[in-house]
Amino acid sequence: MEHIKADVVIVGAGGGGLRAAIAIAEKNPDLEVALISKVYPMRSHTCAAEGGAAGVKTADDSLQMHFDDTVGGGDWLSDQDVVEHFVEQAPRELVQLEHWGCPWSREDDGSVAVRPFGGMKKKRTWYAADKSGFHILHTLFQTSLQFPSIKRYDEYFALDLLHKDGKCRGVVAMEMRSGRFFHFNSPVVLMATGGGGQVFPFTTNGAVKTGDGMAMAYRAGVPLKDMEFVQYHPTGLPGTGILLTEGCRGEGGILVNKNGYRYLQDYGMGPETPVGETVLKTMELGPRDRLSQAFWHEQKKGNTIETPWGECVMLDMRHLGEKKINERLPLVRELASSYVGHDPVTDPVPVRPVIHFMMGGIDCNLKGETRMPGLFALGETACSGLHGANRLGSNSLTDLLVSGKLTADTACEYAKTAGGSADDPALTAQAEAIVTGIRELLQQSGGDESISGIRREMRTSLEEGAGIYRDEKGAVTTCEKVAELRKRYVNIEVNDKSNVFNTDLQSALELRNLLVVAETVAEASLQRRESRGAHQRLDYTERDDVNFLKHSLCFRQPDDRPRVEWSEVTITRSQPGVRDYSGDKK
């Protein structure tokens, strides 16, 4: 095994990991950063984000309004100290990105343009046409290239954390091109590995999003928080699950059912607004959880449209005209035309809700600190409590920047006091044990379970028991199913025995991580017996602040389903209230 010492290890080189790496390199160029990623940085899934990044920009907006929208949008499960910091730092981070060259779209006067987004009372979403995440990622990647203290380990697959006396001490990773194992010896590890949307059958998430960081932390004894809150984006392309940005509706697109009726007005988001006129925080600009739930009801009522890819509603953007669509939504036009043959300029586009984002993740605080000293988390893989029970669109790209920066600053302070990365026989033994486990998995033969088979059963079960609406019976069945799959996993066969770029082995290891995401999503969905934000129970239809104004925490149990505990929500200035998306006409 190769041995590498670093002052700080960052796992994941998407938007969050890169922002953190740059923050460390700028302020502490003497700290050596090992940036480990299973893919080249520009392949990270940040690239797929389309709509934009939220931060107060205009004179009629305020930090308080962004705070209120975020906390209300999260159905009051957000930790408000985190939200306060987030809204304060958001504009600064977005300006910083502009200074680094992000090609933001512009207003007539040459200032950065902002667009409306769901659940936001003011226009505050900074955007670069409909490729905002792509441009943010490439800007950060390219900017990072000027810092010699950032040493990249591209296409290294992180396997597990090393820890001793309750402290994080590094990570073990496999170099894909050689199959060689690397012991990264470091007192500081930042997890920035993104979410785990691949646990569901129908998702906007790329193949890389397999919850690796969440699973590594969980196996190391750190709980996963609020895993029941999984966001469906209301407008995915049927068949592929490709995202059509909320910007479609921000620019004026409308949603209609099979009768051409704007059904959202029947679900607490009316009255109807004039077509093509943007009215904030109501109708099509309601929050994602409400819109996705409305689809579910429309489908039950028989109001959806049968397409070759299943039941859909229609996203109609024709009234925007070709010029605006080309200027603001060129990727949407290309995707819809290519994958379902509907050009938004001339046709309504079929869409349906699709798994998009995990509000939950590695339990950490505002500064990214987990309960394991030396282990930090940021971005989608973390759960600092920012998004609560439902994330507002365009808050997550900003979160990568804000949490990336603050977590990096915190980690640097820790690195200065944590001492060096001394050789330690106990850690070496731990690393060897991890590698032995992987070698055994690679070499075992005669297994009668296939990776794709278990993955398929897991995904189907998650959709059935932990989808848009949940109930006790369905959630119990899914919990039991995932526990069964976890047992069956030991009998999987890795057919590829090569050391060189072994994606069969990688898929097996990713499946192991996905099963962690699956068991925690299912268990927390079962245990939260109320309805809040993205977690809706048919058998407990109301929000229950007496019993469940709390974060769920899933702890790993080696031979059993996860143990669930609860922790307090930090409330500073906004007491739980009613989420009102009925526009100005009360």
Partner 1 sequence: MIGIRQIELEIMRYDPEKDEEPHFQTYSVPCREDWAILDAINYVKDELDTTLAYRWSCHMMVCGSCGMMVNGEPSLTCKTFVRDLPDKVRIEPLENFPIERDLVVVLDDVMQKLHQVKPYIIRKDPPPKDKEFTQSRVDLSKFKQLTMCINCMCCYAACPQYGLDKNFIGPAALSLAHRYNLDSRDQGKSERLNILADHDGVWECSFVGACSEVCPKHVDPAAALQQMKIDGAIEWWKQKLGMTGEKS
**Measured from the CB of residue 209, what is the shortest distance to partner 1 in angstroms?**
8
Under rule CB under 8 A, residue 90 binds partner 1: no
Among residues 436, 491, 498, 541, the one that binds partner 1 under rule CB under 8 A: 498
Question: Considering the complex, what minimum distance in angstroms separates the CB of residue 134 from partner 1?
Answer: 5
Please give the single-letter amino acid code of residue 517.
V
Q: Which of 26, 98, 272, 464 binds partner 1 (CB under 8 A)?
A: 98
CB neighbour list of residue 305: distance below 8 Å, 6 or more residues apart? 257, 258, 311, 312, 313, 314, 350
Quote the least distance from Cβ 207 to partner 1, whole Å: 5
State yes or no: residue 489 binds partner 1 (CB under 8 A).
Answer: no
In the numeric block, the tokens 């209300």 are attached to 72
Is 297 a catalytic site residue?
no
Q: Which of 115, 183, 249, 512 is catalytic?
A: 249
User: Which residue in the list 66, 135, 233, 328 is annotated as catalytic?
Assistant: 233
Which residue in 13, 21, 208, 320 binds partner 1 (CB under 8 A)? 208
Active site residue 233: yes
Is there a contact between 221 and 164 (Cβ–Cβ < 8 Å)?
Answer: no
Which residue, 187 or 404, has its beta carbon nearer to partner 1? 404
Q: From 104-112, 269-277, 312-320, 523-531, give the range in contact with partner 1 by CB under 8 A.
A: 104-112
Sequence length of the chain is 586
**Among candidates 222, 216, 197, 204, which has minimal Cα distance to 36?**
216
3-state secondary structure 498-563: CCCCCHHHHHHHHHHHHHHHHHHHHHHHHHCCCCECCEEECCCCCCCHHHHCEEEEEEEECCEEEE
DSSP states of 153-211 as a string? EETEEEEEEEEETTEEEEEEEEETTT--EEEEE-S-EEE-----GGGSSSBSS-TT-S-
Q: Is 158 one of the binding residues for partner 1 (CB under 8 A)?
A: no
* 271: preceding bond cis by omega (within 30 degrees): yes
Distance of CA 66 to the CA centre of its chain: 20
Q: How far is it, in rounded angstroms, from Cα 527 to Cα 509?
A: 28
Residue 334 binds partner 1 (CB under 8 A):
yes
239 binds partner 1 (CB under 8 A): yes
Whether residue 404 contacts residue 382, with contact meaning beta carbons closer than 8 Å, is answered with no
Cβ neighbourhood burial of 546 (10 Å; 0-12, 13-18, 19+):
exposed
Query: Taking the complex as a whole, how short is the minimal distance between the CB of residue 522 and partner 1, in angstroms?
Result: 23
Report the nearest approach of partner 1 to the CB of residue 40 (Å). Answer: 7
How near is the Cβ of 494 to partner 1 at its closest, in Å? 8
Which residue among 68, 424, 480, 496 contacts partner 1 (CB under 8 A)? 496
Residue numbers annotated as active site: 233, 249
Positions in the binding site for partner 1 (CB under 8 A): 39-40, 42-45, 47-48, 92, 95, 98-101, 103-106, 108-112, 131, 134-135, 138, 142-143, 145-146, 154, 177, 206-208, 239-240, 242-243, 308, 331, 334-335, 338-341, 450-452, 494-496, 498-504, 507
